[in-house]
Structure formats: structure tokens, C-alpha cells
């Protein structure tokens, strides 16, 4: 395995809620599931706060079913199958992200994606978003030995980028992103445009920096060169 040897900064991004607004497609899959169970659809505004909690959070919010239920695994499988068919119908990059990534490319600053989303969903999604050949790596939730908040996915990303973790920046919208970044020895950046809270909430997470727009990420990257 190639060891990380350079001090050129790299930026790694969470996917859902940081790079891309995946809420419409996830909520759409959940509402299709509700329809199949004879339930009316729920508004996106009601489901959006639960997106960062993944399938478990959405099923609890939308189907009132948790992992302790005997029907959970079958319901989860049904939901994931519906989502897999519609992973990139309405999902879009957040405003300013495309320009941010273009600028990073122009500055020759490497960037990658580290997500807890399983590879079967993450790979076709970044392909649909046109990022597959631009990101230096895609580390999915099932790529490393443990998902975030364990540092394993971020350490894998640093190895793939051949950059020492201490020169890397990780941007996410959930507390587990901040915990994972610190555990990996990376600078932790919390993005307020995601699903998990506002700047006041994020101030309790211990992030090194809280950003309110993708343009802030560029300033951080340039200051760490």
C-alpha cells in the first residue's frame, strides 16, 4: 500500500447533505413505500431533518418502525430497493458546490468523497452527478472496516490520495463527520447548509471551522496550502 508522503492539502466531502441534496429522492422512495403500505405521502419538509440518520431514521420517521421490530429488515430491504431505482431523479448538487469543485480542480487541489452511503447507491449517484472521474476517491459506507464516526473511512481516503491525514480537511453536515475527522487527525469543517442543524447546534460539535457557503471552503483550502 502506498504511504501518504506529501503535504499538499486535500479536501474530502461527505455526500448527503454536504455535496448533494439527496433528500427529494430519499423522501420519494419512502413515500412510495408508504403508498405500498396503504399510507398517504409525507411532505418533504417533515422528512428532511431525518435524512442524515439514513434508512433507519427515515423508516422510524415515516413508517414508525425501528431495528427492534421483527419486520424491520424486510421493510428496510423494500425501502432500499425503491431508492436504488430512483437514486438520481431529483438529487442535485447544493448551490455553489459545482463552482467550488471547479475552482479546486483549477487550483490542482485534490478532493474526494467519503460517505456512509453504501457503494451500490453512492457510485451511481456520483456518476449521475458527473463527479466520478473528478474525485480522487470515493470511500463508501461499506468500503472500510467501519463507517463514520470511526476514522477508518477517512484514513482510507488519505491513503488513496497519498496525502498525510494531518494535511487533509473533511467537510460534513453531521456530528459524526466531525468526530470522524478529529479521530483521523484531519481538520473538521461543519457545513450549515445540510440536514443536521444550524451554526448554533454545530458549535457544540467541536468543529474546527463552521462554514455557511461552499465559497468558505475555498478560502480554507487556500489558507492551508
Instruction: Give the span between the Cα atoms of 159 and 46, in whole angstroms.
Output: 39
The DSSP element (H or E) to which 89 belongs, if any, is none
CB contact at 8 A, 149 and 179: yes
Q: Any idea where the domains of the chain sit in the sequence?
A: 10-21+91-223, 23-84
Q: What is the pTM of this model?
A: 0.93
Neighbour-count burial of 131, counting CB atoms closer than 10 A to its CB (0-12 exposed, 13-18 middle, 19+ buried): buried
Looking at residue 6, what is its pLDDT? 43
Q: Is position 25 annotated as part of the catalytic site?
A: no
Residues of the chain with pLDDT under 50: 1-6
Instruction: Report the interhelical angle of 54-63 vs 23-36 (nearest 10°).
Output: 50
Looking at residue 52, what is its pLDDT? 86
Looking at residue 3, what is its pLDDT? 36
Instruction: Give the span between the Cα atoms of 169 and 158, in whole angstroms.
Output: 10
Looking at residue 8, what is its pLDDT? 59
Q: Which of 14, 21, 174, 216 is catalytic?
A: 14
Topology (CATH level 3) of domain 10-21+91-223: Rossmann fold (3.40.50)
Amino acid at each position: 500500500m502506498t504511504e501518504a508522503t506529501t503535504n499538499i492539502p486535500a479536501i474530502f466531502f461527505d455526500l448527503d447533505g454536504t455535496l448533494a441534496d439527496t433528500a427529494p429522492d430519499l423522501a420519494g422512495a419512502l413515500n412510495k413505500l408508504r403508498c405500498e403500505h396503504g399510507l398517504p405521502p409525507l411532505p418533504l419538509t417533515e422528512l428532511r431533518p431525518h435524512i442524515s440518520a439514513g434508512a433507519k431514521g427515515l423508516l422510524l420517521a415515516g413508517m414508525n418502525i425501528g431495528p427492534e421490530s421483527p419486520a424491520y429488515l424486510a421493510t428496510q430491504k423494500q425501502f432500499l430497493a425503491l431508492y436504488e431505482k430512483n437514486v438520481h431523479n431529483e438529487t442535485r448538487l447544493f448551490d455553489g458546490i459545482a463552482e467550488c469543485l471547479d475552482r479546486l480542480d483549477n487550483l490542482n487541489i485534490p478532493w474526494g468523497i467519503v460517505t456512509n452511503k453504501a457503494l451500490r447507491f453512492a457510485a451511481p449517484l456520483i456518476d449521475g452527478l458527473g463527479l466520478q472521474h473528478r474525485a480522487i476517491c470515493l470511500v463508501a459506507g461499506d468500503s472500510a472496516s467501519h463507517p463514520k464516526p470511526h476514522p477508518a473511512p477517512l484514513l482510507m481516503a488519505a491513503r488513496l490520495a497519498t496525502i498525510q491525514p494531518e494535511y487533509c480537511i473533511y467537510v460534513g453536515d453531521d456530528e459524526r463527520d466531525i468526530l470522524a475527522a478529529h479521530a483521523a487527525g484531519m481538520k473538521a469543517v461543519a457545513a450549515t447548509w445540510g440536514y443536521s442543524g444550524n451554526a448554533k447546534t454545530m458549535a457544540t460539535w467541536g468543529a474546527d471551522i463552521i462554514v455557511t457557503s461552499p465559497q468558505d471552503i475555498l478560502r480554507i483550502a487556500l489558507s492551508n496550502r
